Structure 1
Amino acid sequence: MGKDKKKEEAVFLRRKITLLRAFSLLIGSMVGSGIFISPKGVLKNSGTVGFSLVVWFACGLLSMFGALCYAELGTRITKSGGHYIYILETLGPLPSFLFLWAEFFAIRPANSAVVSLAFGRYLLEPFFAPCAAPVPAVKLVSLLGYYAVLTLNSWSVTWSARLQTALSIVKLLALMLIIVPGMMLLAQGRWCLDVHSSGLSVGKLASSCVTSVGLVFP
C-alpha cells in the first residue's frame, strides 16, 4: 500500500509531445533567427558573393566537426543534460557549475533578447518601409512577444508545441523562398562568384567568420 501511495503522489511530466512536435522542436532549436540575420553581415564583411560562400563553406566544415564531436559525446555519455552533463563527466563539478551559471545568467538571456529583437524588427519593418522601424517600438513589440511566448509555454505544453510546429513550417518555407530562386538563377548561368575584393581586410574577414560561426555555436 505504501509503495502504491508513493507512486500515486509522484510528480511526473505527461507525454504531450508527439513525434511531429518533437521534430518541430528540433528544427526550431537548429534553425534559429540568426540564419535570416547573419548572411547580411557575412556578405558585407567578406566583400563579394564568392568569398562569402567560401566563408560559409569553411564554417560549414567547422560545424560538421562540432556535430561529430557531439555525436561521439552522446554515444559515450548516455545521460540527459546536454552541455552540463558532458562538462560534469569530463572536467568535474566546478567547471560544470560555472558553465550552468553562465548559461542561466548570461548566455540564455542574451540569446532570448537577440531572438526577441529580431522578431520585433522584422514584424514592424513592413509598416515603416522604406524607413527603419523606431527603436522604442521594436523593443516594445519584442517584449510583448517574449512574454506572450513565456505565458503560452507556462499555460499549455500542447499549445506551445503547436505554435512551435507552425513556426517551424514558416521557417522552412522562408528558407525555400530564398534557396529556390537562388538555385534558379544558378541554373540560368548567373554565377557572379568573384572572390577578389579590394576592400577586404583581416578585421572584416574575422567579423564575417565570427558572424557565420555564431550560427553554429550560439
Structure 2
Amino acid sequence: MMMITMVKMKEDYVNCESPDSDPGQRLNGDTSIGLKKEIGLLNGVGIIVGIIVGSGIFLTPKGVLQDAGSIGLSLIVWIVCGILATIGATCYSELGTSVPKSGGDYAYIKEAFGPLPAFLFLWVAMFIIMPAGNAIAAITFANYLLQPLYNCSPPDDAVRLIAAAAICFLTFVNCYNVKWATRTQDIFTVSKIIALIIIIITGAVHLITGKTQNLTNIWENTATDPGKIAASFYSGLFSYAGWNYLNFVTEELKDPFRNLPRAINISLPFVTIIYILANLAYFVVLTPDEILATDAIAVTFGDKTLGLFRWSMPFFVALSTFGGLNGGIFASSRLFFVGARHGHMPSFVAMVNIRYYTPVNSLIFLGLLTLLYLTTTKVYSLITYASFIESLFTTLSVAALLWLRYKQPELSRPIKVNLIWPIVFFVVCLFLVLLPTYTKPVETGIAALITLMGIPVYMITIYWQNKPTIYKNFIESVTKFIQIFFLSVAEEKSE
C-alpha cells in the first residue's frame, strides 16, 4: 500500500504547481524533482552578508576584549579576522568552482580524503556547528527583542520560548518557498546594515566632537598569553562565520563559476570595513569596563547615545539576528541534504517535497536539532564548541585544496588562487586549533570527543554493509513513513 501511495505521489507531482517553480522551466519540459537554480548574484551577496552580520557583531566584541585585554589588540584582532576570512573565502572560491557541488566543506573533504573524514565533518556539523550556530542566533534575537521589557537580563524561559518560536517560523518559511527565504534574507540584511550604520555614525560624531578619552590608553592590559590571544580570535572569527556558506548551495546558484567569486569579493571587504568601524564606535562611546559588563553591547551603546530613540537599537539588532538565523537555516540544511544524498545520513533527509521543491525533511531535521540547543542560554560556551570544531574542519578543507593541487593537477580550476594564500590560511587555522586546547581544555576536549565518537557510528551504519534484515526493514519502514507524511520523494535530475 505504501509503495502504491508513493507511485501516486510521483504521478500527481507532474500536474501540481509549485509556488517556487519557474514557469519557463515548465514550458521547457523541466519536470524533474530537485533543487532549482534560483539564487542570483544579489541573493548570493545577501546570503553571505546576511549570515555573517548576524548575532556576532552584537555579541562577541565583549569576548574579543575579554581575551585580548586591550582596545588596541582587540581592533587588531578584528582587522586580522577580516583579512583571514577574505583569504579563506578566496580559497573556497577555488574549491567551490573546481568541485562545483553543494555541501561546502563536506564535498571538498570527501573529494580529497574520502568518505570517513567527510562523514566526521557531517557528524560534528549535525551535532555542534550548525545547530549551535543557529541556536546562538536565535538566543541573541530573543535577548535583544526582550531587553527593552526588562531592567535586567530577560528570564531564561522567556528567551528560550521566543528563540524556539523564531526557529520554528523560519523553518516553515524555508520549507514553503525558496524565494520567500531569499527575499526574507535580503530584507533583513538591509535592517542589520542600518543598525551598524547608526552605530558607526554615532561613533563618528563622538570622535568629531573630541570625545576620545576612551582611546587614550588603548594598549593597557594587552594579553601576552598565546592561548588567550588565540581565544580572542575565536570570538572574532565567530563574527565572520558564514563566509563559506554560499558554497553549501552551489547547485542552486545561477552561473556559479561567475557569481560565487563575485559574491565573495563584494561581501567580505564590505563586512570587514563595517565591522572595524562598528568596533571603533563601541570603543569611542563605551569604556572597556562597560563593554565587559554587558551581554547586549548594542543596547548599552544605544542607551548611552540615542536618547528617546534608544528603542531602535534592540529593534534593529533583533531584526539583524533574525535574518542571520534565516540564512543559517537555509544554507546549513543543504549540507545535511547533500550528506544524505551520498549515503552518509538516512536517505529521507535527501528528499525533496513534491509541491515546493524544498528539502523539507532536512530542514525539519535541522530545526529539531537546533531546538535541543535551547536547553542552555550560555552562548559563550556554545561559541567555543562551534568555533573549535569549525576551525578544525576548515583546516581540513584548506588541506583538501593543497592535496588536490598535488593529487589532481589536471582538475579543471576556473579560479586558481596563488598557492601562498591557502598555505598561510592553513597555518593560521592550525594555530587556532592547537593553542586553545590548553586555555579551554574542557570545551575543546568535549568537542574533540564528540568528533571521535563519529568513527564507530560510521563503521556501524555506513562501512558495515551486511546489516541484519530486521535493521534494513526498520529503516525502510521509517523512510516510507516520512516520505508519505512530508510528501517527499528522492531527487530526480532531468536529462
TM-score (norm 1): 0.82
Q: What's the CA shift for 1:163?
A: 1.8
Number of residue-to-residue matches in the alignment = 212
Confirm or deny: 8 A CA contact 2:70 2:221 kept in the other structure: no
Query: Residue 175 of structure 2 aligns to a residue in which SS?
Result: helix
Identity %: 39
Give the corresponding residue for 1:160.
Answer: 181
Per-residue Cα deviation, 1:106-143 (whole angstroms, up to 9, x for no partner): 22111111111111111101111x31111111111111
Q: What's the CA shift for 1:63?
A: 2.1
Counterpart mapping for 1:35-74 below 5 A: 35-74=57-96
CA distance in 1, matches of 2:42, 2:199: 24
Q: Letter of the aligned partner of 2:74 in structure 1?
A: S
Give the corresponding residue for 2:361.
Answer: none
Give the corresponding residue for 2:220.
Answer: 197
Asked if 1:110 is matched to 2:160, the reply is: no
Query: Residue 125 of structure 2 aligns to a residue in which SS?
Result: helix
Query: Residue 182 of structure 1 aligns to a residue in which SS?
Result: helix
User: Which runs of 5 or more residues in structure 1 are unaligned?
Assistant: none
Comparing 119-128 and 197-206, the one that deviates more: 197-206
Confirm or deny: 8 A CA contact 2:46 2:185 kept in the other structure: yes
Confirm or deny: 8 A CA contact 1:49 1:193 kept in the other structure: no
Confirm or deny: 8 A CA contact 2:56 2:240 kept in the other structure: no
User: Which runs of 5 or more residues in structure 2 are unaligned?
Assistant: 1-13, 15-28, 242-386, 388-495
Q: Letter of the aligned partner of 1:135 in structure 2?
A: D
Counterpart mapping for 1:19-34 below 5 A: 20-34=42-56
Q: Letter of the aligned partner of 2:185 in structure 1?
A: Q
Give the corresponding residue for 2:195.
Answer: 174
Asked if 1:207 is matched to 2:231, the reply is: yes
Distance 1:47 1:68, change over 3 A: same
Asked if 1:150 is matched to 2:174, the reply is: no
Distance 1:190 1:53, change over 3 A: farther
Confirm or deny: 8 A CA contact 1:153 1:160 kept in the other structure: yes
Per-residue Cα deviation, 1:77-113 (whole angstroms, up to 9, x for no partner): 3333311111111111211122122212322111111
Q: Letter of the aligned partner of 1:34 in structure 2?
A: G
CA distance in 1, matches of 2:143, 2:95: 38
Q: Letter of the aligned partner of 2:58 in structure 1?
A: F
Confirm or deny: 8 A CA contact 1:50 1:193 kept in the other structure: no
Q: Which has the higher contact order (CA 8 A, sep 6+)?
A: 1
Comparing 142-151 and 50-59, the one that deviates more: 50-59
CA distance in 2, matches of 1:13, 1:138: 34
Confirm or deny: 8 A CA contact 2:73 2:222 kept in the other structure: no
CA distance in 1, matches of 2:61, 2:37: 38
Distance 1:201 1:127, change over 3 A: farther
Distance 1:149 1:195, change over 3 A: same
Residue 143 of structure 2, aligned match among 107, 115, 121: 121
Q: Letter of the aligned partner of 2:95 in structure 1?
A: L
CA RMSD of aligned residues (A): 2.7
Query: Residue 103 of structure 1 aligns to a residue in which SS?
Result: helix
Q: Letter of the aligned partner of 2:229 in structure 1?
A: L
Q: Letter of the aligned partner of 1:60 in structure 2?
A: G
Confirm or deny: 8 A CA contact 2:70 2:223 kept in the other structure: no
Q: Letter of the aligned partner of 1:66 in structure 2?
A: G
Confirm or deny: 8 A CA contact 1:48 1:197 kept in the other structure: yes
Structure with larger Rg:
2
CA distance in 2, matches of 1:187, 1:173: 21
Comparing 32-41 and 193-202, the one that deviates more: 193-202
